[in-house]
Structure 1
């Protein structure tokens, strides 16, 4: 285009498993597409040390799995650019999209948003103060810093349970702090936790405050049934808190173009289509029952074939 805007059939926003899967299927559908990633290909997946539930690739680490996805996409002709996207807009007159990134702007007939989600904060006093210095949101990233120490895991879902089991390999003791009166994790994972002698599970309990100097030395817990609180004192830096209470979907780019559910995830149909024609969503940003690598990859495949069909091109059957 005359103003320097790059014209594409499809722009894919996000280079995680959903975005890379979409890039693979877009290439196979002969779409002129570009995949834009803000920080690092793979997103949260590259922080995972071991993946044992992706079919056909047992005991893979996240970085290697994502690198294989990238290589496959590029071998098929996909274009992947490291460039953060600032906005996604739709021209109502033409039905085309303008995707503005830091280094370039794109004019596209269709867009797939696979921007993922970021860790949700628990909201206790001192959480922001000690973030990165006693409070972490990724056990596989920061677990080594707490080798031989006591760690608290805030959360009761699958992610929290899996991370607690990982931390139990490193820490001297793991205390799960669960707000509800039960764990929401899968039964098999709960059984592993209950059988692990390093793991303690505190139900109906919340962390209400952290305090200390440069590093935390005191944690205050509340019994959510009685309302009573108790404070535990430690040597500074001898414990840590891992907050694993879910994620916040990255929907800001398309906030005015999509419908969201009560948790803020984008509502789509089974073709990954949103309320806006030509705009598709895939992966963790989408409202669905299960958020795993395999479902993200499936979402990306469906979104890309749906985009090709939207553009009137033949798709794989």
Structure 2
């Protein structure tokens, strides 16, 4: 007799779930954009769904979070699921001046690539890579853990080479993979923590451990750009469960890097559903090719597992 846990673990999910994850990611990004870098005291909870226009940005704008996630999804599909670091960095460099909110670590990685052709960052422990890795989880089943980890590492170190950055990216990608397979929130948190602990980060991983136990709280300025603080914020929000829209609102109300945390939370929890009700979705600058991206990622997920070349 096959138990339900095994059945879920083998489930390929659906393209619809991946599409819902992409849409919810963009909606979380847009929800957080107007309030990015603000402490909780400056965030008007009653206006979140309005998506107040951020000065200098279009109404309903998304940030580098969504733009890089889409670029990584396109790269993965174009390479048949292998991922091509050189092609990704080439595309990132070409789009650099049109990516809203791109961070300094990513800019340095682009400069290094254009000047030297190097594909690996020697350092970088901010959250600029963890925000884009969900397609690598959506495109791999839970049972394909080694393949997923290899993909995550090769595509993360293009811009962020610190072990903590790779660990955080592995955790988020794993949550995305398990979410599309239908796992509940408590299992998503458990697999994320297990991925972090594989890297033996010691005390640096304490925020993630606290979040898994329900003991983490953001600092006075909100969630920082540190990758492990970001993962802790994601786990903290997911631990409270609820519908994706409400979870994204809670993520923004943590303050600080509001767009990244809300986007990742939306992408993970949205991926557990074929459709997601998001009241502010009609006001969001959504990617125009969600269905095609979702279908492409799902076809990679549904095929027999192979090690990346």
State the TM bucket, normalised to the shorter chain.
under 0.3
TM-score if structure 2 supplies the norm length?
0.24
Bigger CA radius of gyration: 1
More strand by share: 1
